[in-house]
Amino acid sequence: MERSGHWTDDFFEDLFGRVIKSRSDETTLMQIDLLLKGSGAEPGATVLDVCCGYGRHSVELAKRGFQVTGVDLIEGYLAKAREHAETKGVDVEFIKMDVRDLEFDRKFDLVLNMWTSFGFYDEETNLDILKRLGNCVARGGHLVMELINRDWVVKNFLQRSWWPVDDNLIIFEEREFDITRSINRCVWNFLEDGKVKKMPLDLRVYSAHELILLLKSVGFGDVEAISEPDGARLTFDSRMMMIIAKMG
């Protein structure tokens, strides 16, 4: 499907891939332990990893005996994911697909959407993506989403911050928060070797109660929100949250 230009067309290429690589194996293992505990999924179950990136969750789940499919829009990410799976000696099907075109009819016991890979579009499109995620989940199965907590963003809002990605790359982020629409309007400045590359993004952020209501509106039954990665009660001090929703 042909679509007009959007910030996601360019943001996730090249330099952002190095941000993905900076995610630690320890973090991935903690997240998988938590989502498996929350969903109750057992080895042998079918898993769909939506916006799978380099396949860090997909490959680990395959190592634990799950039947995994990963989808992502970026072919470069999928190539690295396939290499990662081959290196680890596991079989994962990786498919190039836009999340806005997601269509798997009740096929998976567990569907994942990790690392704030939701909220990129307008309200109508975001809701349609939730419906599509729901339509992928088998009856009695679970959707697990890991994303930034809107209430933490508001409480701890900074107009600017910076952090190192690796030995050469630094990100300086500038932000404006649209409180009427809960959109964090950002510019990521990638700084390397005296050069700057500016990449804008507009991220719709969600409070737990809002996302719970949206998930129930698209067919989910029980929905739980916990702090991530420790699984504790969600509070204003929880930067990341994990939403675990059971399909009725």
What is the pLDDT, as a whole number, of residue 1?
62
Inter-residue contact 235 to 208 (CB < 8 Å): no
User: What residue ranges do the domains of the chain occupy?
Assistant: 8-148+207-247, 153-201
What DSSP state is assigned to residue 101?
Answer: G
Measured CA distances, 155 to 29, 162, 170, 177 (Å): 28, 18, 25, 12
pLDDT band at 2 (very low <50, low <70, confident <90, very high): low
What is the pLDDT, as a whole number, of residue 79?
97
Average pLDDT over residues 198-223: 98
Residue 42 makes CB contacts below 8 A (sequence gap 6+) with none
Asked whether the whole model's pTM tops 0.95, one would answer yes
pLDDT band at 14 (very low <50, low <70, confident <90, very high): confident
The topology (CATH level 3) of 8-148+207-247 is Rossmann fold (3.40.50)
Per residue in 144-196, pLDDT tens? Answer: 999 999 999 999 999 999 999 999 999 999 999 999 999 999 999 999 999 99
